[in-house]
Structure 1
């Protein structure tokens, strides 16, 4: 555990810092990363020992409070902030709220701007779903040497711009292996095989909650039947609540608060006097 000060100048501890992540390139085993959507999912990640997280900016304050030492990245949607000033303002705000790394899909110039302000920047290469119309649809990348070299050149441009890490999505595993060995970027593999420094999956995919999961997803359990049963039980509870309330049966005796002895009669008498 590392002692740090946050970007908001608060003393804290982290399980990993940026140099720790960079040192992973020489480690035997990768770290893991997940995307929790709520506090319950976050708690499950922490209990399971997931070492790094990526979270929505809207969850930063709550999640940092609940997982004070876990390395936590956050991001902006491609069109969330329109101008470089907007992006910089948002990134600084996220870092002050407890983020440890900031993901952007914007230009090399934006990455350089953020890096110059000492913000650890994560980028996204390979399949970037938001840009799939430019790349010919949702497909795998790096299946030819030429395309793998194009990814390599992109890595180098991001290195020069000052990026720290790259989410590498749906890149051929062989290409990922050789690219990872030839970049200083911390690689986060999402559907790019086992050669990444960090292996990333979405919570809904891992838990079998996605109706039409992508090819790179693997469900280690199947929560869909449980969700269906929970929904059924919710409807049952709500239906019975409504029926009992309409019949004036609920709240039941065990849920009611009663006046002290003789106080109801005293109240009746007082109200009666008021009506005279």
Structure 2
């Protein structure tokens, strides 16, 4: 099957709750695709890897990076066109409205970002919910309206009170991707690191952990250290290499080579 289109996402708003993950490797992308995750946020480099579509042929993908890693409007356009050419279904943009407008004017499907925008968190007080007061709820609404008017088809709405998200969803034509913003979003979005229990730092309140990869990685690291330690001990004791690890040649070749070295070395 082909990935869903932008039109498919918009037509299914409120009818089908989409699952979305941020994946960082081909292994995670393949696992997400086989698990039925429909939407993937991916590092831009992954789009150019021909193996990606082999492992995740049906996923709708949003390559994305922080705006300060890309630059201004012209930089974003130079960044976006090759990604779209190589199969990106939409482009994430937390840059200026003028940038969103320019990308949309060129026919590029754009996803903006509202609420808690980590790269711009200084304006809203750090890593905390946005929209718990009337003033900040109005800010989130104005952000959505501005992005919609600029031509975005979707927004990531992050750490916004679920009641505020629901009211916005009822009054916008945007496709809302909820990261910690409640079931009013049309897609639910988490990082694979959190889902897999790979995050060793602070786990966000909205994250749900489904596996304990960190413990497994610790176990594997202990196995690495133990195996490498035994290798070092074998080398130091002269037990490696043993005869079964060696290649040799006929004795007459060794003798002839030794004679040659004696005459020529």
TM-score between the two structures when normalised by the length of structure 1: 0.86
**What is the RMSD computed on CA atoms of the aligned residues?**
2.0
**CA shift at 1:258, angstroms?**
4.9
Using the TM superposition, name which of 32-41 and 113-122 deviates more.
32-41
Q: In structure 1, what is the equivalent of residue 168 of structure 2?
A: 179
Q: Provide the secondary structure at the position in 2 that maps to 1:183.
A: coil
**CA shift at 1:72, angstroms?**
1.1
For structure 2, list consecutive stretches of 5 or more residues without a partner in the other structure.
none
Q: Provide the secondary structure at the position in 1 that maps to 2:24.
A: coil
2:56 to 64, 67, 70: 67
TM-score between the two structures when normalised by the length of structure 2: 0.90
Whole-angstrom CA distance in 2 between matches of 1:198 and 1:253: 60
User: Does the alignment pair 1:76 with 2:54?
Assistant: no
**CA shift at 1:225, angstroms?**
1.7
Q: In structure 1, what is the equivalent of residue 198 of structure 2?
A: 209
Q: Provide the secondary structure at the position in 2 that maps to 1:153.
A: helix
Q: Provide the secondary structure at the position in 1 that maps to 2:69.
A: coil
Q: Cα gap change, 1:253/1:271 in structure 2, threshold over 3 Å: closer, same or farther? A: closer
Using the TM superposition, name which of 60-69 and 208-217 deviates more.
60-69
Q: Provide the secondary structure at the position in 2 that maps to 1:79.
A: helix
Whole-angstrom CA distance in 2 between matches of 1:220 and 1:118: 38
| 8 Å Cα contact 2:44-2:63 kept in structure 1 | yes
**CA shift at 1:100, angstroms?**
1.3
Q: Cα gap change, 1:81/1:235 in structure 2, threshold over 3 Å: closer, same or farther? A: same
Whole-angstrom CA distance in 1 between matches of 2:75 and 2:227: 46
Whole-angstrom CA distance in 1 between matches of 2:232 and 2:92: 46
Whole-angstrom CA distance in 2 between matches of 1:203 and 1:51: 14
| Alignment size in residue pairs | 260
Q: In structure 2, what is the equivalent of residue 9 of structure 1?
A: none
Whole-angstrom CA distance in 1 between matches of 2:245 and 2:185: 56
Q: In structure 1, what is the equivalent of residue 20 of structure 2?
A: 33
Q: Provide the secondary structure at the position in 2 that maps to 1:200.
A: strand
**CA shift at 1:257, angstroms?**
4.1
Q: Provide the secondary structure at the position in 2 that maps to 1:142.
A: coil
